[in-house]
Amino acid sequence: MRMGPVEWGTVVAHWPYGLDVFLDSSGEVGTVGITWVNDSTIRTNEEYWPDVGDRIRVRRMEVRPSGELRLTAQQAAIDWSPKEVVRRRKTGWPSGLRLAEWGVITAVHERGFDVLLLASGETGTVMRSLIEADRKMFKTDFHPSVGQPIRVRRLGVWPDGTLRLSHRACFVRGGEPPNRTDYDPPPGPPPPPPPGMAIGTDIPLGDPRLLPRWARQQQKQEKQQEQEQT
């Protein structure tokens, strides 16, 4: 498989199967499958995915017959990492990951909800994207409320200074972290965008242009079927 050059893009959506990225150079939207988010098996979990609106580097892998553009964000492809470095990343444990602990929800807001950790007195945040990830996968819904006791697990401190937590059963139940993969937030502020390139975040997230090509085609077919029925 011949990959394209490294490109900058903006994460515009999370799905159970991966994330969509709006490419600066072409205005296309491609999909990074869950196994291509990162080299590390742990860091493909939603806990470590870049947030919607984050800028990341990707490479084109293929365009499927359906028209779907597939991308990779794995460091091995982006940075041309040696095999030994990639092997260590695949099996390595994220430095900020800790064992499960009890806390109390102190605030619910647009980004998610805050939890006061009883053992340390620190406050961390569970991002709303993790709540939505479970809603897409399981029938049991979860509605956090202030004062509710909850078990969580530390993920680490993100570049913006926020202590990130996870409440999901696959992380909290103890033992080894789940065998998927992750996005390892780099130290320091995110890199600036390349000069002269549009970021694309001014486009509303509900805009059809941000949907993958196959999804736009499906919407078009559904509208045609509705028109034929009427």
pLDDT of 203 over the 80 cut: no
Q: Mean of the pLDDT values across residues 3-28? A: 88
- Which backbone phi and psi does 89 adopt, to 5 degrees? -65, -35
Which pLDDT does position 179 carry in this prediction?
38
b/e code 114-149 from CB counts within 10 Å (16+ = b): bbebeeeeebbbbbbbbbebbeeeeeeeeebeeeee
Question: Is a pLDDT exceeding 50 seen at residue 184?
Answer: no
In this predicted structure, what is the pLDDT of residue 204? 56
* CA dist., res. 71 & res. 174, Å (int): 33
Residue 82 has pLDDT above 90, yes or no: no
Per-residue confidence (pLDDT) for residue 195, from 0 to 100? 44
Give Cα separations from 173 to 38, 100, 206, 222 (angstroms).
Answer: 23, 8, 35, 42
How far is it, in rounded angstroms, from Cα 63 to Cα 109? 38
First to last CA, the chain: 46
pLDDT of residue 105: 94
pLDDT of 21 above 80: yes
Average pLDDT, the chain: 77
Query: The pTM is what?
Result: 0.63
Residue 130 pLDDT: 82
Q: Which phi and psi angles does 227 have, rounded to 5°?
A: -65, -40
